[in-house]
């Protein structure tokens, strides 16, 4: 290929990649698969490697710089980066609107532009002739830090602007933030590698952006949303906030998909309520709604006070994180006997709800966060999740504050508490002796996705167990109208309704029944897989671990839990009793044995694989129809061996059984299953 042709192809590829970036990050309308996009990027990379003379800084291959910075340089903001005034209720919003109307001598309603306030970090992006030349933090508003190398790694920030009407100079302000799903995955990864876990997405975004090594920033799921134009030269700007943001969008920069123009302060109230209602289901955290005068002339007329514009306001939501005192830590016993530390708090309002209890997850978390009784703690309640203690405020700590300790005896039944090897959880050994475990098991049995016993709620189960009317699920179906009617606040009609619901629940399905038994780590999907594999309960009950691990979703730990559950005489007795009460389900047809490529083969997996856990590798093989066994015999098709395989490979060699390395395993199964 001639040089000219190469250059042309490079340009075409860059344009195509930038186009797909806009479709993906700005318009939320991707038109190609990730694979196709990666292919384009690799092709471009190959051409640039072959012809480095055509490499430019705005190429989409040049997001991650190689250099690790020593520190961030300071940059002056030509236009100060201001903050926003806050409002906390309708009356403060009305006062804001009134102030503006007076200031502008307006009799008629003011028009506003509105959008959710993302909980991230304010960043300035400077484009010269369409190319990103500088990114900076807010800092003190007059000068911030130059974080260009890090911001270049954020894929939603275009390195080059789109279109024919690109201004000579454009400074856009916006928020860098971390979506919740990415935050959750990042924290999982951090905890697994014994690294710092972030308290919230905002801290995670801040920590990720302030990395001196841009490779670390690149590995973090950051994204960007524009909210204002600070400077523009060489092109004229539209005269409304809303239209300016549409222009920003047309240049390839992401803007809020929720932005709206509103015709009155009343419309602002409705918008706020609407966003507040959506808050829990958004993919990212927001901490309020920002309202701005839509008319840019009016903005200019209104001007600024000290460090904030008079023409904009952030109507904040109730805080999701507040401080309070940790009064005590108690231990709650769950269905499987696991003891969860629960914080008893000085009651405090979080996100609009009074909270007096919060989870501390487990003892490892308490140690990691170094939380002590008496501490001032930060409590967080986001969306529908259970309130949690995220951190202790160390400056308030007094000598003598002690870390809570796991009790040696169950607080409910006084049985011994043990920690199983290799597990973070501590468990009560009381089993069915423990009223807490029995209560939880019954609640689970009655729950919607299990036996769906309408009217048998948590409070009623607790009452029935406390009054010794029922001990286990076996007693549910012999409850009488007389017994139930004798309960506090239970009219005869409600008692009869509950008996009818119990009767209706007898007609169920095998997956529901298996799930309802509450076997440790057997969720709905596993229960369904067990039911489909075995087709009847008796076969599940008598199966061994070797057979159970053939079932999709079942690994050695779950298999051991299942065998252990059915080995308990008390569990068998409970099952027999409820079945005798008339629980039944329709028979399951065994699905036609589809001709899977590895049907009839048996594999053993040993050692440490680089790209898969043994469980993942087993799942891949099982999905292709193979059996997976834990021991090598002459019937074994092959042994898949990772690092440090041990005696299984020796045995395979002796028996003449094939041994596959990870590469051969991938060739056999097609690809990495992710
Ligand atoms: O901190 C901010 C968040 C969101 C803002 C802002 C915004 O608009 C949606 N707008 C301005 C003008 C300022 N700060 C100063």
Each residue of 156-178: pLDDT tens digit? 999 999 988 899 999 999 999 99
3-state secondary structure of 566: helix
Backbone angles phi, psi at 43, to 5 degrees: -60, -45
Predicted confidence (pLDDT) per residue in 19-53, tens digit = 999 999 999 888 888 889 989 999 999 999 999 99
Residue 673 binned pLDDT confidence (cut-offs 50, 70, 90):
very low
Residue 94 CA to ligand 1 center (angstroms) comes to: 20
| Inter-CA distances, 340 with 333, 457, 523, 621, Å | 7, 22, 20, 36
Which residue owns the Cα nearest ligand 1 atom 8? 227
587/316 Cα distance (integer angstroms): 56
Instruction: Give the nearest ligand 1 atom to 256 CA.
Output: 9
More confident residue, 432 or 86: 86
658/639 Cα distance (integer angstroms): 6
> What pLDDT is recorded for position 384?
65
Residue 516 binned pLDDT confidence (cut-offs 50, 70, 90):
very high
Look up tokens 């167990």; give the residue: 465
Mean pLDDT of 395-413: 95
Ligand 1, residues 81, 171, 173: which to mutate, most atoms within 8 A of Cβ? 173
- H/E element, 191: helix 180-192
Predicted confidence (pLDDT) per residue in 617-670, tens digit = 988 888 888 888 888 999 999 999 999 888 999 999 999 999 999 999 988 987
468/479 Cα distance (integer angstroms): 12
The structural domains of the chain, ordered by start, are 3-54 (1.10.287.610), 85-314 (3.30.470.30), 321-396 (2.40.50.140), 438-580 (1.10.150.20), 602-673 (3.40.50.10190)
Ligand 1, residues 124, 205, 228, 306: which to mutate, most atoms within 8 A of Cβ? 228
Active site residue 663: no
Residue 469 binned pLDDT confidence (cut-offs 50, 70, 90):
very high
- % the chain with pLDDT above 70: 98
Residue 91 CA to ligand 1 center (angstroms) comes to: 21
> What pLDDT is recorded for position 593?
55
Mean pLDDT of 470-493: 94
Q: Say which of 5, 117, 278, 506 is annotated catalytic.
A: 117
Please state the three-class secondary structure of 618-668 as a single string: HHHHHHCCCEEECCCCCCCCEEEECECCCHHHHHHHHHCCEEECHHHHHHH
* Number of alpha helices (DSSP H) and beta strands (DSSP E) in the chain: 24, 24
Residue 303 CA to ligand 1 center (angstroms) comes to: 15
Instruction: Give the nearest ligand 1 atom to 81 CA.
Output: 15
């Amino acid at each position: 290929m001639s040089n000219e042709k190469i250059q042309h192809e490079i340009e075409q590829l860059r344009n195509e990649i930038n186009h797909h970036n806009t479709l993906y990050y700005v318009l939320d309308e991707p038109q190609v698969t990730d694979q196709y996009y990666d292919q384009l990027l690799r092709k471009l990379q190959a051409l640039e490697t072959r012809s480095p003379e055509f490499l430019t800084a705005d190429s989409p291959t040049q997001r991650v710089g190689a250099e690790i910075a020593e520190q961030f340089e300071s940059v002056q903001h030509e236009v100060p980066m201001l903050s926003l005034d806050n409002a906390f209720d309708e009356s403060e919003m009305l006062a804001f609107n009134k102030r503006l109307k007076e200031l502008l001598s307006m009799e008629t309603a003011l028009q506003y532009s509105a959008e959710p306030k993302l909980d991230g970090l304010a960043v300035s992006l400077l484009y010269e002739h369409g190319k990103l030349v500088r990114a900076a933090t807010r800092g003190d508003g007059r000068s911030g830090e130059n974080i260009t190398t890090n911001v270049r790694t954020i894929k939603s920030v275009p390195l080059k602007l789109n279109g024919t009407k690109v201004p000579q100079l454009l400074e856009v302000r916006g928020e860098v933030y971390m979506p919740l799903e990415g935050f959750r995955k990042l924290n999982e990864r951090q905890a697994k590698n014994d690294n710092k876990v972030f308290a919230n997405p905002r801290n995670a975004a801040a920590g990720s952006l302030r990395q001196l090594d841009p490779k670390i920033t690149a590995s973090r799921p950051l994204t960007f949303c524009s909210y204002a134009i600070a400077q523009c030269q060489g092109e004229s700007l539209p005269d409304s906030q809303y239209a300016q943001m549409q222009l920003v969008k047309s240049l390839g920069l992401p803007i809020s998909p929720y932005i709206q123009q509103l015709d009155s302060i009343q419309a602002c109230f409705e918008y706020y309520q609407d966003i507040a209602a959506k808050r829990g289901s958004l993919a990212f955290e927001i901490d309020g709604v920002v309202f701005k005068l839509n008319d840019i002339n009016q903005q200019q007329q209104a001007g600024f006070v000290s460090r904030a514009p008079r023409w904009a306001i952030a109507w904040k939501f109730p805080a999701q994180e507040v401080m309070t005192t940790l009064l005590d830590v108690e231990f709650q016993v769950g269905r499987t006997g696991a003891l969860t530390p629960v914080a008893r708090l000085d009651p405090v309002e979080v996100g609009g709800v009074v909270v007096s209890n919060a989870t501390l997850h487990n003892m490892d978390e308490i140690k990691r966060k170094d939380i002590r009784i008496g501490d001032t703690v930060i409590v967080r309640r986001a969306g529908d999740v259970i309130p949690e203690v995220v951190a202790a405020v160390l400056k308030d700590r007094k000598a003598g504050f002690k870390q809570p300790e796991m009790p040696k005896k169950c607080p409910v039944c006084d049985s011994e508490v043990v920690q199983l090897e290799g597990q973070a959880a501590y468990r009560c050994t009381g089993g069915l002796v423990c009223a807490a475990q029995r209560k939880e098991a019954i609640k689970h049995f009655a729950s919607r996705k299990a036996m769906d016993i309408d009217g048998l709620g948590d409070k009623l189960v607790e009452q029935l167990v406390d009054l010794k009317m029922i001990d286990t699920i076996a007693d549910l179906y012999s409850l009488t109208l007389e017994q139930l009617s004798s309960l506090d606040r239970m009219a005869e009609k409600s008692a009869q309704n509950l008996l009818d619901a119990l009767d209706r629940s007898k007609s169920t399905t095998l997956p529901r029944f298996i799930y309802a038994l509450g076997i440790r780590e057997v969720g709905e999907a596993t229960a369904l897989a067990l039911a489909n594999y075995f087709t009847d309960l008796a076969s599940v009950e008598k199966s061994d671990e070797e057979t159970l691990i053939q079932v999709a979703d079942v690994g050695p730990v779950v298999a051991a839990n299942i065998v252990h559950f059915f080995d308990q005489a008390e569990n068998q007795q409970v099952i027999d009793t409820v079945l005798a009460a008339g629980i039944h389900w329709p028979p399951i047809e065994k699905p036609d044995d589809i001709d899977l490529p590895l049907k009839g083969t048996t594999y053993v997996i040993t050692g440490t694989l680089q790209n898969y856990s043994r469980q993942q590798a087993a799942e891949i093989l099982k999905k292709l129809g193979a059996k997976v066994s834990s021991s090598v015999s002459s019937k074994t098709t092959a042994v898949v061996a990772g690092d440090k395989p041990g005696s299984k490979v020796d045995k395979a060699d002796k028996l003449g059984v094939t041994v596959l390395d990870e590469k051969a395993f991938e060739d056999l199964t097609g690809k990495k299953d992710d």
